[in-house]
Chain A
Amino acid sequence: MIRARHFMLSFILLLGMTSLAAANSGRLVADLSKSNIAITSGFHGTDLLLFGAVDGAVGDDILVVISGPPTDIAQRRKANRAGIWINVETNIWQKAPSLYTILATSPIDKIANPETLASLAIGTNNIGLEIAAKTPVAGQSEPTANEFIAALQANMASIDLWPDQTGNVTLTENALFRTEVKLPANILSGTYKVRVLQFRNGVAISEDITNLYIKKGGLSAGIYNFAHNYSALYGIFAILFAVAAGWLAAVAFRRK
């Protein structure tokens, strides 16, 4: 009897502890409908499903950050010189994400305050982007650092690579979440990092990271690799192909 009571007590205690732990840290598992994507000749962007389960409570938010393989981005600024608009300045942003997109259950500013987002490195303002190399420009009013990053964000958004918050995540019964991810046609190949965070009262309480692999595939990969690995041979092949095609056309349409 005493032993049974003792057992019951420890069971209740254990239960209480796990639910407490859940309330404090949460638990989150996320996955993608496909984690390998091939850029083939028919590639025109792709949609995929991100889904998962979370140990959630009423009012929780889910936030997803997808960031593409880092690349250097040349940012150029035009100015009028002698009547024509020419690039007068080049800034190189080193190791910037080639794709950056955020999806969430609510608008981002409602989920957490800017300081929290900054400490979690969420948003292109908060990932430590810096201009690595800069061509100086004489005698012109220089835009501020903020204007440069704002221009970069606008340019990258216009080519669909850093879109503003692109979609909504739906969270069902505070347990299951899902969202449709649209990737544009001009994405780079490489490893994409997908971060999924659970927020409660403005604090991130759990996080899961999965990878998404994008590779060139099929004929498109064949041509790309041929051009880069055997470039002299590729050049000769392109010339021979053109000569053959031109000759064929002349023969096929020869009249009289």
Chain B
Amino acid sequence: MYIYLPIAEISMHIGIIIGLGGGVGFLSGLFGVGGGFLMTPLLIFFGIPPAVAVATEANQIVASSVSGVLAHMRRGNVDFKMGGILLLGGVIGSSLGVVLFTTLREMGQIDLVIKLSYVVFLGIIGFLMLLESVRTILRTRRPGIHKTKLHQHNWLHGLPLKMRFRRSKLYISALLPLAIGAFVGVLAAIMGVGGGFIMVPAMIYLLGMPTSVVVGTSLFQIIFVTANVTFLQSVQTQTVDFMLAGLLLFGAVIGAQFGTRASALLRGEQLRGLLALMVLAVCIKLGFDLALRPDDLFSVELLK
């Protein structure tokens, strides 16, 4: 059964949409990630206009982050103060991102920038994750030779506007989370992702937050950043496809449940290693798209 998507203005098989939602939902449940970095390229691959894919995916991530954050809130794993500062930055950054997105779209370069951002950021994150998980796997085989500091002090801790974050056991400048939030916000708006895959490592390695509160706090601020993107894209470009988001959501909710159950079968570092490989695979695929000579050098877009 085909369904006509009113904003994307294309007709797509309903099974493909729910299947995409389910598949990506499964992986996001399995790895504990939002899945935007997989869904947006897949939607584009299936012929959804990039602008619609990015804006609609933001809308869907609002839902998956809400359902994710509730579980973390029950366990008290959300640092609301830190989340508040991050989301303040995130709202500023994502607003800039939407403006940038609209400009690039008018210039005809949005596809390029989306793909380049994916290649660069997925490449870096995937590589670092792979390195880390391989190291952990090796270390567990040869136990007893590691020691780590809580976190390291460097020039970042000399910045003004110091604030105490009780839940994260930190006393750092508010400018740091503000800047990280803003940077990830820009990327979220351009790439159609929540940005968890950049936010989480930034919180651990740059802010030095305890890992227990990282995921919950990241999800908490992603809700607001993606909600902001959804709203601004609706107003500026009218590219949020409510029908598409709803169907993807339906599949993703079910898929995520199976994914969460399946994740109990694997160890943490194995999961991270697999996730790293998947991230790198998406990166390499998009990299090839940019580097190989396209079959047709010309393309058209109807400007309605």
Could you list which residues of chain A lie within 8 angstroms of chain B, going by C-beta atoms?
39-45, 71-80, 83-87, 90, 92, 98, 151-152, 154-156, 158-159, 161, 185-186, 188, 216, 219-221, 223-224, 227-228, 231-232, 234-239, 241-243, 245-247, 249-250, 253
If the complex has contacts A73-B302, A154-B298, A185-B4, are A234 and B240 also in contact, measured as CB distance less than 8 A? yes
A8-B62 Cα distance, complex, nearest whole Å: 87
Q: Contact at B108–A42, with CB atoms within 8 Å?
A: no
Identify the interface centre among A98, A227, A242: most chain B CB within 10 Å of its CB.
A242
Q: Contact at A41–B4, with CB atoms within 8 Å?
A: yes
If the complex has contacts A85-B290, A227-B242, A238-B245, are A71 and B6 also in contact, measured as CB distance less than 8 A? no
A44's nearest neighbour on chain B, judged by CB, is B2
Which 7 pairs across A and B sit closest by C-beta, in order of nearness?
A246-B66, A235-B234, A185-B11, A242-B62, A246-B63, A242-B63, A235-B231
If the complex has contacts A216-B6, A234-B234, A234-B242, are A186 and B291 also in contact, measured as CB distance less than 8 A? no
Q: Contact at A83–B291, with CB atoms within 8 Å?
A: yes
Instruction: Type the 1/0 row for B225-253, where 1 means its CB is closer than 8 Å to any CB of A.
Output: 00100111111001010110110010001
Q: Contact at A247–B7, with CB atoms within 8 Å?
A: no
B257 contact set on A, CB distance < 8 A: 253
Instruction: Type the 1/0 row for B32-47, where 1 means its CB is closer than 8 Å to any CB of A.
Output: 0000000000000000
Q: List 28 A-B contacts (CB under 8 A).
A: A39-B4, A43-B11, A45-B11, A76-B299, A76-B301, A78-B299, A84-B116, A84-B291, A85-B294, A85-B297, A90-B107, A152-B300, A154-B296, A185-B10, A188-B302, A216-B6, A223-B6, A224-B6, A227-B7, A227-B242, A234-B242, A235-B230, A235-B235, A236-B231, A239-B231, A241-B246, A245-B63, A245-B249
A6-B302 Cα distance, complex, nearest whole Å: 66
Q: In the complex, how many angstroms separate the beta carbon of B292 from the nearest chain A beta carbon?
A: 8
Q: Give chain B's interface secondary structure class.
A: helix
A15-B29 Cα distance, complex, nearest whole Å: 83
Identify the interface centre among B2, B238, B291, B297: most chain A CB within 10 Å of its CB.
B297
Q: How many residues of B contact A (CB 8 A)?
A: 58
A43-B111 Cα distance, complex, nearest whole Å: 28
A94's nearest neighbour on chain B, judged by CB, is B303
Could you list which residues of chain B lie within 8 angstroms of chain A, going by C-beta atoms?
1-4, 6-7, 9-11, 59-60, 62-68, 70-71, 107-109, 111-112, 116, 223, 227, 230-235, 238, 240, 242-243, 245-246, 249, 253, 256-257, 290-294, 296-304
Q: Contact at A92–B10, with CB atoms within 8 Å?
A: no
Q: In the complex, how many angstroms separate the beta carbon of B105 from the nearest chain A beta carbon?
A: 11
Q: Contact at B299–A75, with CB atoms within 8 Å?
A: yes
A221-B9 Cα distance, complex, nearest whole Å: 11
Q: In the complex, how many angstroms separate the beta carbon of B163 from the nearest chain A beta carbon?
A: 28
Q: Contact at A239–B298, with CB atoms within 8 Å?
A: no
Q: In the complex, how many angstroms separate the beta carbon of B160 from the nearest chain A beta carbon?
A: 35
A42 contact set on B, CB distance < 8 A: 1-4
A245 contact set on B, CB distance < 8 A: 63, 246, 249, 253
**5 new A-B pairs (CB below 8 Å) besides A219-B243, A241-B63?**
A41-B6, A73-B301, A84-B290, A231-B238, A235-B231
Q: In the complex, how many angstroms separate the beta carbon of A243 from the nearest chain B beta carbon?
A: 5
Q: Contact at A85–B108, with CB atoms within 8 Å?
A: no
If the complex has contacts A185-B4, A235-B235, A235-B240, are A76 and B62 also in contact, measured as CB distance less than 8 A? no
A40 contact set on B, CB distance < 8 A: 4
A90 contact set on B, CB distance < 8 A: 107-108
B9 contact set on A, CB distance < 8 A: 186, 188
A71 contact set on B, CB distance < 8 A: 302-304
B298's nearest neighbour on chain A, judged by CB, is A151
Q: In the complex, how many angstroms separate the beta carbon of B77 from the nearest chain A beta carbon?
A: 14
Q: In the complex, how many angstroms separate the beta carbon of A139 from the nearest chain B beta carbon?
A: 17
A73 contact set on B, CB distance < 8 A: 300-303
Q: Contact at A243–B298, with CB atoms within 8 Å?
A: no
If the complex has contacts A76-B108, A220-B6, A235-B230, are A98 and B302 also in contact, measured as CB distance less than 8 A? yes
If the complex has contacts A44-B2, A76-B300, A228-B238, are A243 and B66 also in contact, measured as CB distance less than 8 A? yes
Q: In the complex, how many angstroms separate the beta carbon of A137 from the nearest chain B beta carbon?
A: 12
Q: In the complex, how many angstroms separate the beta carbon of A155 from the nearest chain B beta carbon?
A: 4
Q: Contact at B303–A155, with CB atoms within 8 Å?
A: no
A231-B298 Cα distance, complex, nearest whole Å: 33
Q: In the complex, how many angstroms separate the beta carbon of A134 from the nearest chain B beta carbon?
A: 12
A156's nearest neighbour on chain B, judged by CB, is B300
A71's nearest neighbour on chain B, judged by CB, is B302
Q: Contact at B296–A155, with CB atoms within 8 Å?
A: yes
B111 contact set on A, CB distance < 8 A: 87
B1 contact set on A, CB distance < 8 A: 42
A186 contact set on B, CB distance < 8 A: 9-11
B291 contact set on A, CB distance < 8 A: 83-85
A223 contact set on B, CB distance < 8 A: 6-7, 242-243
A232-B235 Cα distance, complex, nearest whole Å: 5
Q: Contact at B303–A242, with CB atoms within 8 Å?
A: no
Q: Contact at A87–B303, with CB atoms within 8 Å?
A: no
